[in-house]
Amino acid sequence: MAVIPVALAGRAYEVVIEEGLLARLAEAAAPFQKGYGAGRPVPFVADTNTHRLFASGIDAHLAAHGLAAEWFVVAPGEDAKSWAVLEQLCDWLLALGVTRKDHVFALGGGVVGDLVGFACSVVKRGCGFVQLPTTLLAQVDSSVGGKTAINTRAGKNLIGAFHQPSLVLIDPLVLATLPDREMRAGFAEVLKYGLLGDAAFFAWLEANGNKVLAREPAALEHAIATSIAMKARIVAADERETEDLRALLNLGHTFGHALEAETGFSDRLLHGEAVALGMVLAAKYSARRGEISAADAARAEGAIGAAGLPASLPSLALTCDGAALVDHMRHDKKAEGRTLPFLLLRQLGEAYVARDVDLADIAAFLDGELAG
Ligand code: GLY
């Protein structure tokens, strides 16, 4: 078991990591279920997958504690992060009579967590919520730190709020049913923590990544706890990403976003897969600038490839050129000039924000990578 505090003044909370937490929810989240019972159900939001897998167990468990769950179920996928679903969810919470003191339970991956967190930031000008992340990606990244958002026609995550959860309960057992591809995509974000801030953790992942992917309990808990501990430190120091510190968590994301955009934000390339390849590109570009050695860039590429994640641009069989990928980056960041902030590596285990990157050079670099 690991308990990791997120030390935000006035909004401090804990991330608890332990096998079987979901089966002990009434005890594990007891302070956040006060006020429910006696005809007031506990509001849960899930997608159809997490509802199918876990709702009946939670219903039975809560019933044994004199509580009842009421479920709001969304379709799986990014479409749930919409104005329409947000409106339905807010109406449902208001109809349930949720108050500012109440907590809503988000059972799912990043989509459910982002949607519920944003709804809870506006319902009654802000009520509480508890994150119950069910994907590795949500467990090590999106459930912690309070970034909440929906998508609009203008782009992903452009409407949202910083709204911290009151508790995050991570039960590694829920990953037993996670498809291997999604497990690998979440593992990309675990590798990210090693690459951006902890060389020893990166080396541990090189040696033990296969155990994490195989869901071996001790390795999995160590990987999740180490990742969350770093994220908690960063969020506590730079909650709103104003200090060039929280931005480090975006390692691989600028290149990755361009790849997601080029592949239509589709199943062709999952977010974690795009981040994985984005990190390879960030490492190789850092080597091109002479900041890390070619051998270190090859280590990053090797760890990502060994995890079964995409590690080279030709593997995506894109038909565009480097300039088209740079255009996606420009559009994402609303950039007009010749440069954008890029997350690069000073060494394995030390990322930094580079502000002197020439986009024409990035396009030339990507042309070389696309050619293989
Ligand atoms: N996923 C990046 C962050 O939470 O800042």
311 touches ligand 1 (CB under 6 Å): no
The DSSP annotation for 217-276 comes to: HHHHHHHHHHHHHHHHHHHHH-TTS-SSSGGGGGTTHHHHHHHHHHTTTSTTS-HHHHHH
Q: What CATH superfamily is the domain 180-370? A: Dehydroquinate synthase-like - alpha domain (1.20.1090.10)
Q: What is the pLDDT of residues 58-92, one digit of tens each?
A: 999 999 999 999 999 999 999 999 999 999 999 99
Q: Under DSSP, is residue 64 helix (H, G, I), strand (E, B) or coil?
A: helix
Distance CA 118, CA 139 (A): 18
For the entire predicted model, the pTM comes to 0.96
Bridge partner list, 72: 45
239 touches ligand 1 (CB under 6 Å): no
The DSSP annotation for 274-335 comes to: HHHHHHHHHHHHHHHTTSS-HHHHHHHHHHHHHTT---SGGGG-----HHHHHHHHHHHHT-
Whose structure tokens read 């508890």?
Answer: 130
The atom number, within ligand 1, closest to the CA of 231 reads 4
How many Å lie between the centroid of ligand 1 and the Cα of residue 168? 15
CA distances (Å), origin 336, targets 17, 65, 71, 340, 359: 43, 57, 45, 9, 11
> Is the domain covering 2-177 a CATH 1.20.1440.230 domain?
no
The atom number, within ligand 1, closest to the CA of 234 reads 5
- Tens digit of each residue's pLDDT, the chain (372 residues): 999 999 999 999 999 999 999 999 999 999 999 999 989 999 999 999 999 999 999 999 999 999 999 999 999 999 999 999 999 999 999 999 999 999 999 999 999 999 999 999 999 999 999 999 999 999 999 999 999 999 999 888 999 999 999 999 999 999 999 999 999 999 999 999 999 999 999 999 999 999 999 999 999 999 999 999 999 999 999 999 999 999 999 999 999 999 999 999 999 999 999 999 999 999 999 999 999 999 999 999 999 999 999 999 999 999 999 999 999 999 876 666 788 999 999 999 999 999 999 999 999 999 999 998
Other C-beta atoms closer than 10 Å to the C-beta of 254 total 22
List residues with catalytic annotation. 125, 147, 189, 231, 241, 246, 250, 253, 257, 271
Maximal C-alpha separation, the chain: 65
Domain boundaries, the chain: 2-177, 180-370
User: Ligand 1, residues 15, 136, 147: which to mutate, most atoms within 8 A of Cβ?
Assistant: 147
The atom number, within ligand 1, closest to the CA of 249 reads 2
246 touches ligand 1 (CB under 6 Å): yes
Distance CA 267, CA 212 (A): 23
Distance CA 191, CA 189 (A): 5
Token digits of residue 93: 């919470």
249 touches ligand 1 (CB under 6 Å): yes
